[in-house]
Amino acid sequence: MFGWEFPPNITGGLGTACLGITKALSAYPDLELTFVVPKVYGDEPANGMKLIGANEIDLITSKINVEKLCGPFTYLSITSGLVPYLDPEEFKKICTGHETTKTTTTEDISPVSIEFTGKYGPDLMTEIHNFSIIAEYIAKQGDYDVIHAHDWLTFPAGILAKGITGKPLVVHVHATDFDRSGGSVNPTVFKMEKAGMEAADAVITVSNFTAQRVQYDYSIDPSKIFTVHNGAIPLQISNPQKLPPHKKKHTVSFLGRVSVQKGPEFFVEVAQKVLSKMDNVEFVMAGSGDMLGRVKKKVVQLGLTKKFRFPGFICGNDVEQLMNRTDVYIMPSISEPFGIAPLEAMQYKVPVIISKQSGVSEVVQHAIKLDFWDTDAMADAVYSILKRPALKGMMKEKGSDEVRNISWEKSANKIARIYNMFAGNKILMG
C-alpha cells in the first residue's frame, strides 16, 4: 500500500483515512500489510502492519539506478502554512516567505538514501517521481498480491509497481483535482490522476459523489469503480471540558482548510445572516489556507471582527476544546469527496450542517444537509439549532448514536472483498 502521509504527521484527511483503513485491515489474520510512505518519523502507531519510509531505503545496497532519480535533491522543511492537496503551482505561491530550504545536489554528495519531506512542497513532482522509483524497488522485493495506491501522489508509484510485478493495482481516490481546485484543474495533476485510474484494475472512491466524477470527468469504466465510504475512528474523549450549562455565548464552528474547496466564504455569509437576528453568537474558523487572508478581509468589511475568531490550524486537544464549546458545526464545502470532520463533530455530540455536495452526506441521516450556496437555509438551520433545544437535543443524541455505526471496519470489509476479487479469495471474510 502506498500513501503520502500517516498520523500523527498529517496535514489533512488523507492520513486519517489511511490510518483508519490500515488499522481495520490489520484485523484480518490472512492479510499482511506493508504501508510505504515517503518519510517515516518514528512516532507512527504500529497498527499491526509493516511501515516503510522510502527515505530509509539504502540506495547502495538496493542497487537502485540513481540516474533514474531526479535531481537536484531538495530538502525542504516548511515552518508553517502547510496545506495538503494543493497542486505544485499553487503551493509555490503560498510557500513564498514561509519556508526554509536547504538544497543539496548530487554533485555535492553521493546519496545513500533519498531525503523525502513527505510533504507538499515546491519540489512535489520530484518527490513523487523519486518515491515511485523507490516504490518500484520495494514492490519487487516482496511477494505481494495486490498493490493499493492512495491518491494521485502515489499513483505513479502504483503504476510502476504494477509494471514490475504484474500484480493488480487498486487506486484509492480520496479526492480529485476538481474538488481541490474548485474547477481550475491543474493539467499535470489531472494527467497523473487519469493515468493512475486507467492503469488500475479497480478504482475505489470514497463516495458515490466521487464515483460519478471519476466516471464522467475522467472517463473511467464504471464497472471497475467501487464506492467504499470512509469511517470514523472512535474518539477517546478523555477530558471533556465542563462548560457552564447556560453559557452566555453560542459558538458556531468551521474546521478545515481555508481554501475554495471548503467554502469558507459561505460560512462568513451565514454568520452575517445569523448575527442580523442574534447577538450572542461567536463564529470560529479554525484552519489555515490560501483563502484565509481574503476571508479575514471580508469579515472586517462586514464589521464582524468582534464576532469572529481565527485560531489557525489546530489539532489534538485544541480540536477537542473547540468541539466541547461548539453548538453547531458547519461544513459548507463546494465539493467534498467525503469529509471526515463532520463525523468527528458528531462524536463530540455537536449538531452538524453539511453541504449536499459531499460524500459524507451519503452516509449520515442526522445532519442537516443543504446546498453549499444556500446560505439562507444554512443560517435558518443555525438559528433553529441555537434557539430550539428539541432540535439541538435530537441532533446531538441521534447524531452521536449514528456515527458509532459508521466504522472503518465496514470500509475495510469492502476493501478486503475487492482484494479478494484479484487475490483468489485468499482473505477469509468474517
Q: Is 381 in the site for another protein (CB under 8 A)?
A: yes
CA dist 15 and 230 (Å) reads: 12
Taking CA atoms, 296 is separated from 134, 149, 311, 414, in Å, by: 43, 37, 12, 42
Consecutive H or E run containing 281: strand 281-286
Q: Is 369 in the site for another protein (CB under 8 A)?
A: yes
Cell numbers 443543504 correspond to 370
The stretch near another protein (CB under 8 A) out of 178-186, 269-277, 339-347, 417-425 is 269-277
At 314, is the secondary structure helix, strand, or coil? Answer: coil
Cα four-point dihedral sign 362, 365, 367, 369: positive
The stretch near another protein (CB under 8 A) out of 28-36, 239-247, 321-329, 386-394 is 386-394
Cell numbers 474547496 correspond to 261
CA dist 179 and 185 (Å) reads: 9
Q: Which cell numbers hold the place of 51?
A: 511501515
Q: Which one of 277, 297, 404, 426 is in contact with another protein (CB under 8 A)?
A: 277
The smaller minimum CB distance to another protein, of residues 318 and 371, is found at 371
Q: Is 404 in the site for another protein (CB under 8 A)?
A: no
CA dist 250 and 232 (Å) reads: 26
Q: Is 270 in the site for another protein (CB under 8 A)?
A: no
Q: Cβ of residue 176: shortest distance to another protein, in angstroms?
A: 25
Q: Which one of 129, 224, 229, 273 is in contact with another protein (CB under 8 A)?
A: 273
Q: Is 40 in the site for another protein (CB under 8 A)?
A: no
The smaller minimum CB distance to another protein, of residues 16 and 272, is found at 272
Q: One symbol per residue from 348 to 367: x for binding another protein (CB under 8 A), - otherwise; what is it?
A: -----------------xx-
The smaller minimum CB distance to another protein, of residues 314 and 391, is found at 391
Q: Which one of 238, 248, 390, 424 is in contact with another protein (CB under 8 A)?
A: 390
Q: Is 380 in the site for another protein (CB under 8 A)?
A: yes
Q: Cβ of residue 347: shortest distance to another protein, in angstroms?
A: 19
The stretch near another protein (CB under 8 A) out of 3-11, 35-43, 185-193, 271-279 is 271-279
CA dist 420 and 429 (Å) reads: 9
Q: Is 394 in the site for another protein (CB under 8 A)?
A: yes
The stretch near another protein (CB under 8 A) out of 118-126, 143-151, 293-301, 380-388 is 380-388
CA dist 134 and 36 (Å) reads: 10
The smaller minimum CB distance to another protein, of residues 19 and 378, is found at 378
Q: Is 236 in the site for another protein (CB under 8 A)?
A: no
Q: Is 391 in the site for another protein (CB under 8 A)?
A: yes
Q: Cβ of residue 358: shortest distance to another protein, in angstroms?
A: 15
Q: Is 265 in the site for another protein (CB under 8 A)?
A: no
Q: Which one of 17, 31, 173, 395 is in contact with another protein (CB under 8 A)?
A: 395
Own/partner pairs for 375-379, CB < 8 Å, 24+ apart? 375/266, 375/269, 375/270, 375/273, 375/332, 376/273, 378/266, 378/270, 378/330, 378/332, 378/353, 379/269, 379/270, 379/273, 379/274
The stretch near another protein (CB under 8 A) out of 124-132, 190-198, 289-297, 368-376 is 368-376
Contact call for residues 35 and 6 (beta carbons, < 8 A) = yes
Q: Is 279 in the site for another protein (CB under 8 A)?
A: no
The distance between the two most distant Cα atoms of the chain, rounded to a whole number of Å, is 69
CA dist 76 and 314 (Å) reads: 22
Residues in contact with another protein, counted by CB under 8 A, come to a total of 21
The smaller minimum CB distance to another protein, of residues 68 and 387, is found at 387
Q: What is the DSSP string of 129-172?
A: HHHHHHHHHHHHHS--S-EEEESGGGHHHHHHHHHHH---EEEE
Q: Is 212 in the site for another protein (CB under 8 A)?
A: no
Q: Which one of 191, 247, 297, 388 is in contact with another protein (CB under 8 A)?
A: 388
The stretch near another protein (CB under 8 A) out of 65-73, 89-97, 323-331, 385-393 is 385-393
Q: Is 108 in the site for another protein (CB under 8 A)?
A: no
Treating both helix axes as pointing N-terminal to C-terminal, what angle do 264-275 and 292-301 enclose, rounded to 10 degrees?
20
Q: What is the DSSP string of 20-56?
A: HHHHHHTT-TT---EEEES---S-S--TTSEEEEGGG
The smaller minimum CB distance to another protein, of residues 93 and 387, is found at 387
**DSSP-assigned beta bridge partners for residue 370:** 355
Enter the DSSP assignment of 80. Answer: S
List of residues contacting another protein (CB under 8 A): 273, 276-277, 365-366, 368-369, 376-377, 379-381, 383-384, 387-388, 390-391, 393-395
